[in-house]
């Protein structure tokens, strides 16, 4: 630290600077070194959570309301407590926090499949596009039309980026890596006990509420970042949004900004579920897929600037 002070770089040791450097390094690392789910600690946690959900569903045909929260108590909290304890003993805590944040914002290279899906649809290879998309979404893809594939892929890109990256970064900036870990592991467990699966309609509801507790303030802030570039469009989208939750808030804002419609009917576990349409009135076209990533980069950059302001206030 003295060397930094002598060189006039003492500001680099300020807590808010260290926090932002951790965030920016993690984002860059996630872009350059995306890990596959099967070899990723978060992915391994999801596999464990998924196996636990299958075991619960096997023993209890319709698991009780408290089963999801019980799994949260015995899975998420002990892991976070152990990591928090080990961080207290670490000599290079900042380095470990940066690595953990990189792991927490993992998307498992999901953005890289856009070119493949787009290429398959251009060449009218619908089944290859369905097969490429299927491992990344919960809904059934076997009967999706080309436009249905494109819309499902677009929604997946937007929601994963928001839920896995944006929300995690926010809680890291505010309360540190422990809060980011609690949220990300809760999100993975909630996906394992997804309420769109009939058997987890009750058991997963409390986990869904916990996830949305973390997501709501971030959804409002992220929507504000989108509003800065498309104020009139975002107001129009939110004014007619029938069912408001964090995911719909983000989908409606981005959908209106790029000029396409999201949500509607989808098939989960053989059952058709209808959700209120949001965004623009125009159906999504294939070319909209190419607009999403540049828009996300723009909103992420704006969100990081907001995070710098938050870090200055909090730290």
Give the tokens for residue 38.
Answer: 């099967």
Which residues fall within 8 angstroms of residue 66, CB to CB, at 6 or more apart? 206
pTM of the model: 0.93
pLDDT of 3 reads 47
Query: Quick one: how far is CA 249 from the chain centroid?
Result: 14
pLDDT attached to residue 11: 64
59-96, pLDDT tens digit by residue?
A: 776 777 788 888 999 999 999 999 999 999 988 899 99
Write out pLDDT tens, residues 134-169: 888 888 888 888 888 889 999 999 999 999 999 999
Looking at residue 268, its pLDDT comes to 83
Domain definitions of the chain by residue range = 2-314
Contact 15, 176 (CB under 8 A): no
pLDDT of residue 7: 52
Q: What is the pLDDT of residue 273?
A: 82
Q: How many CB atoms lie within 10 A of CB 55?
A: 11
What local confidence, expressed as pLDDT, does residue 231 receive? 92
Residues in Cβ contact with 255 at an 8 Å cutoff, skipping those fewer than 6 apart: 237, 261, 262, 278, 279, 280
C-alpha atoms less than 13 angstroms from C-alpha of 168 in its C-beta half-sphere: 31
Q: Which portions of the chain are predicted below pLDDT 70? A: 1-12, 61, 315
């Amino acid at each position: 630290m003295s060397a930094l002070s002598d060189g006039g770089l003492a500001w680099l040791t300020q807590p808010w600077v260290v926090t932002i450097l951790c965030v920016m390094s993690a984002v860059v690392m996630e872009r350059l070194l995306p890990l596959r789910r099967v070899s990723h600690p978060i992915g391994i946690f999801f596999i464990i959570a998924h196996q636990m959900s299958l075991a619960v569903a096997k023993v209890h045909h319709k698991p009780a309301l408290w089963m999801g929260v019980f799994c949260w108590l015995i899975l998420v909290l002990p892991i976070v407590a152990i990591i928090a304890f080990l961080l207290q003993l670490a000599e290079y805590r900042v380095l470990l926090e940066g690595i953990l944040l990189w792991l927490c914002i993992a998307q498992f290279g999901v953005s890289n499949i856009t070119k493949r899906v787009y290429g398959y649809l251009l060449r009218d290879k619908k089944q290859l596009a369905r097969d490429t998309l299927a491992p990344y979404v919960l809904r059934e893809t076997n009967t999706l039309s080309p436009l249905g594939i494109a819309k499902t892929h677009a929604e997946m890109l937007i929601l994963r980026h928001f839920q896995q990256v944006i929300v995690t970064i926010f809680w890291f900036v505010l309360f540190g890596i422990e809060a980011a870990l609690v949220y990300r592991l809760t999100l993975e467990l909630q996906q394992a006990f997804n309420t769109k699966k009939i058997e987890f309609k009750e058991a997963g509801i409390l986990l869904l509420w916990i996830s949305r507790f973390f997501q709501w303030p971030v959804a409002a802030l992220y929507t504000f970042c989108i509003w800065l570039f498309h104020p009139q469009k975002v107001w129009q989208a939110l004014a007619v949004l029938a069912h408001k939750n964090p995911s719909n808030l983000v989908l409606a804002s981005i959908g209106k900004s790029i000029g396409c419609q999201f949500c509607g009917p989808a098939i989960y576990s053989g059952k058709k579920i209808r959700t209120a349409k949001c965004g623009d009135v125009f159906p999504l076209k294939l070319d909209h897929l190419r607009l999403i990533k540049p828009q996300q980069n723009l909103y992420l950059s704006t969100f990081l600037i907001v995070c710098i302001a938050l870090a200055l206030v909090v730290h």
